[in-house]
Amino acid sequence: MGGLQCCQSQTASTAEEIPIEQNDSNGVQLDGQGPPQTTVAGSPALVSDDQIFSDIDDAELKIFSSAFETFDPVEGLVGFDHMLLRAYICEHTCITEDSLDIILFQQEEGEGAQPALSLPAFSGIMRSFAIHDREMAQGWATISDGSDSVASPDARTGLVMMASDESVEVSEQQMDRMLNGVMAAAGPVVGREEWCTYAVHVARCLRAMRLR
């Protein structure tokens, strides 16, 4: 997938805020530096903590469905050139603007002249690229000291540290509830692959809490 190094198939780093100077024809604010920023994030309180922690797939579907409707789909499809669609994906996944078209064309649907994306394909992209591989590698290196596995409490600590770097405030109670669910099946020792699966789940939960 070219130079893209996101965690795909297990399913975000949020784009930095930049000065706003003008709007494009779709109403997206631009400054000429990288992808346009968007605050499209579904309806307020669209999903609860309980929904996010108990069924992240369903919680994300509600959030992504609400966002998708703001892209003005025609017969259930949104063109690849829709600026709000592109901005939303780049802002709320680890996909860069340079790599976006590669990902989109792998999900192309419709038989018209304009390449387009459906809600299921859009949701799949959002889920598959919730966190960058580099973030997980750094998180694992911090807790493992070169080992192939760590004690379960250390694995949990690593997830807490990773979560603290995200742009969403999480209370101690919310963190405990989230990690209790994410690590419900964890044994006394956690391997790297298992920890990365937990990290993807945590990243998706945190993003849902930010976008709801």
165 pLDDT band, cuts 50/70/90, is confident
Cα(68)–Cα(31) distance, rounded to whole angstroms?
24
108 pLDDT band, cuts 50/70/90, is confident
- Judge whether residue 76 has pLDDT over 50: yes
- Judge whether residue 121 has pLDDT over 80: yes
Task: Specify whether the CB–CB gap between 37 and 18 falls below 8 A.
Answer: yes
166 pLDDT band, cuts 50/70/90, is confident
**Predicted pLDDT of residue 15:** 36
**3-state SS string over the chain?**
CCCCCECCCCCCCCCCCCCCCEECCCCCEECCCCCCECCCCCCCCCCCHHHHHHCHHHHHHHHHHHHHHCCCCECCEEECCCHHHHHHHHHHCCCCHHHHHHHHHHCCECCCCCCEEEHHHHHHHHHHCCCEHHHHHHHHHHHHCCCCEEEHHHHHHHHHHHHHCCCCCCCHHHHHHHHHHHCCCCCCEEEHHHHHHHHHHHHHHHHHHHHC
**Planar angle of CA 60, 66, 69, nearest 5 degrees:** 135
Q: What is the mean pLDDT of residues 181-206?
A: 97
- Judge whether residue 31 has pLDDT over 60: no
57 pLDDT band, cuts 50/70/90, is very high
147 pLDDT band, cuts 50/70/90, is very high
22 pLDDT band, cuts 50/70/90, is very low
Least confident of 18-32, 78-92, 94-108: 18-32
**Predicted pLDDT of residue 20:** 33
Cα(1)–Cα(125) distance, rounded to whole angstroms?
13
Q: Measured between alpha carbons, how far is residue 34 from residues 31, 37, 103, 115, 139 in Å?
A: 8, 9, 17, 22, 27
Q: What is the mean pLDDT of residues 75-98?
A: 96
Cα(196)–Cα(185) distance, rounded to whole angstroms?
14
Q: What is the mean pLDDT of residues 76-100?
A: 96
Q: Considering the entire predicted model, what is its pTM?
A: 0.78
